[in-house]
Amino acid sequence: MQMYKVFVNDVPIILSTQENIGSQYTSISIKKAKIKRLIKQIEQGELHYLNLYHKKEDKLLKHLKKKLKVVIAAGGLVYNKNNEILFIYRNKKWDLPKGKAENGEPIETTAIREVEEETAVQNLEITRFLQTTYHILKRNGKYKLKETHWYEMRTDFDGELAPQINEGIKKAKWKNFEKSQKALNKSYANIKLLFPKEYLVVHPKDRI
């Protein structure tokens, strides 16, 4: 079964090639789905498990993108020479630096530019593509689909980090393995998808 996860807050809408993926799921053909009404139901806590299906995998995102305007973005999971990871703190959550693509800009350029702008880090080198994440946001009263392309990056930069205050970023911090685990407890579900599994296992006392 081919599948995508599209997050509304931290609730994933499943896009899949199968109509039945579990009895708890409400399954609707993506072609017929009234997507804005369904998003509202999820936001109001009335719907927790939603599967939008189409037998052809290439039609899943295609149909969703017809229903919602797409915002393309890119960002980075950045390691320094001590293997610490670069986090930003915004809206009371730990996040990874990312931002919108500019017209005609190659997506790798977007990723590096946004990480630099949001944290003042320098000397970034992309080591590999990680994955694309999808989440739904509301801007000016309209729902949009944010498609974010994520890259693993490395840097030898050991200068001062500076959060981009005018973007609402309060902190930019390097975090070691243990601190990264704690930060992920106060992060977003789609960000957790980017991390190796060992980062998502924390001591029970840290779950409080």
Q: What is the pLDDT of residues 149-166, one digit of tens each?
A: 999 999 999 999 999 999
Q: How confident is the model at residue 208 (pLDDT cuts 50, 70, 90)?
A: very low
Interstrand relation of 85-90 and 169-175 (parallel, antiparallel or unpaired): antiparallel
Domains of the chain: 3-67 (no CATH), 71-207 (3.90.79.10)
Look at strands 125-139 and 3-8 and give their pairing: parallel
The pLDDT tens digits of the residues spanning 118-151 come to 999 999 999 999 999 999 999 999 999 999 999 9
Tell me the per-residue pLDDT of 33-49, one tens digit each, with 9 for 90 and over.
999 999 999 999 999 99
Structure confidence at residue 200 as a pLDDT band (50, 70, 90): confident
Dump pLDDT digits (tens) for 70-99. Answer: 999 999 999 999 999 999 999 999 999 999
| d(C-alpha 124, C-alpha 79), whole Å | 9
Question: Which tens digit of pLDDT belongs to each residue from 61-72?
Answer: 999 999 999 999
Provide the β-strand partners of residue 174. Answer: 86
Of 69, 71, 72, 68, nearest to 33 (Cα)? Answer: 68
**Residues 160 and 191: beta-carbon distance below 8 Å:** no
Q: What is the pTM of this model?
A: 0.92
Tokens of 166: 């005018």
